[in-house]
Amino acid sequence: MSSLFSKAKVGSLELQNHLVMSPLTRSRAPGNIPNDLMAEYYGQRATMGLIITEGTSPSPNGLGYSSIPGIYSDEQVAGWKKVTDAVHAKGGKIFVQLMHTGRISHVLNMPKGARIVAPSAVQAAGQIFTAEGMKDHPVPQEMSAADIIVAQAEFVKAATNAVKAGFDGVELHAANGYLLEQFLRKNSNTRTDNYGGSIEGRARFVLEVAEATIAAIGKDKVGIRLSPFGAASDMHPYPEMEADYGWLAGKLNALGLAYVHLVDHSAMGAPAVPASMRATFRSTFKNTLILAGGYDGKSAEADLAAGKADLFAFGRPALANPDLVKRLKTDAALNAPDMATAYAGGAKGYTDYPTLA
């Protein structure tokens, strides 16, 4: 698997290899502030070509889950600086994923004064964990024109804060049913203004956020994650989806983003991303393409050799194997992830996974 471990590029960055650590929510940030334990965790995994952090909120309104980090305050920026220093000290590269949860939230998980906002006042099915147990998702407040402007500015501020914190770039989380994808999808966006209706309207918020973020920190520092056909957080595929995302691929290419990160959730029961859609992104989007979803070393090497993508993202294997690169290179057995310790808690199931002797 020599090609997989050769140097790669994303934007103007040179990476150690073609392996990416997927964004993985771990809920280890009490008070929504990154800490020393998080710095240790990410530093352990710095041999990955690129680390993409867990979802990190650009706003108090985006803190839908308990103990997830933000990047909108000076204290949070200082906390993230510990993380980026730990990764860079070992030669790694790291982007922060900007995740506004939108309607996937609950008031019990949010700071005082925060609001649960979304493109439309459409309640998501399902429940969310809180300190008082599982609760139904609430009906969100439909964002006004002023709310949209504020949210866009929050993404831009978070991106500039990311640069201050030492990150190599940011990933806009337009997947998994959170705010950016809530605008893209028909079932969560029923607006009749310029931000709803056709794909041109539903994609407007995403594209404006991307354009403004690029203007603030540079196109080489901005990527985006998409989950076409994903069903997380009460998302529903629809007949025109492949055409809509194909159109979006062209618009993202025109913006010159550093990368598109496509995730396939078929392993979790969602429809698979069609091979034709992956091929559309490969041919339409001219910069780096990252694929995620069920990869192991051999399948990633095969798809790299076939030219299907440039980088390949690993989630649970990276969670449980701080030395995943070495294990894949030597075809060593992998630690199995302990999902009972995946969220919240301390070092157990976080920084205590064993490495090879």
Domain that holds residue 36: 3-341
Give the pLDDT of residue 267: 83
Give the pLDDT of residue 1: 52
**Amino acid (one-letter) located at 334:** L
Residue 42 lies in a domain: yes
Give the pLDDT of residue 350: 98
Give the pLDDT of residue 268: 82
CA distance 63 to 323: 31
**Amino acid (one-letter) located at 236:** H
State the CATH number of the domain containing residue 289.
Answer: 3.20.20.70
Q: Is 178 a catalytic residue?
A: yes
DSSP 114: -
Residue 94 lies in a domain: yes
Residue 54 lies in a domain: yes
DSSP 157: H
**DSSP code string of 192-237:** -STTSSSHHHHTHHHHHHHHHHHHHH-GGGEEEEE-TT--TTT---
**CA triple 27-158-94, angle to 5 deg:** 65
Residue 348 lies in a domain: no
Residue 346 lies in a domain: no
Candidates 42, 178, 295, 350; catalytic one: 178
Residue 355 lies in a domain: no
10-residue block means of pLDDT along the chain (357 residues)? 90 97 97 98 98 98 97 98 98 98 97 97 97 96 98 98 98 98 98 98 98 98 96 94 97 98 90 95 98 96 97 98 97 96 94 95
Residue 114 lies in a domain: yes
**Count of structural domains, the chain:** 1
Element (H, E) at 156: helix 145-164
Give the pLDDT of residue 270: 87
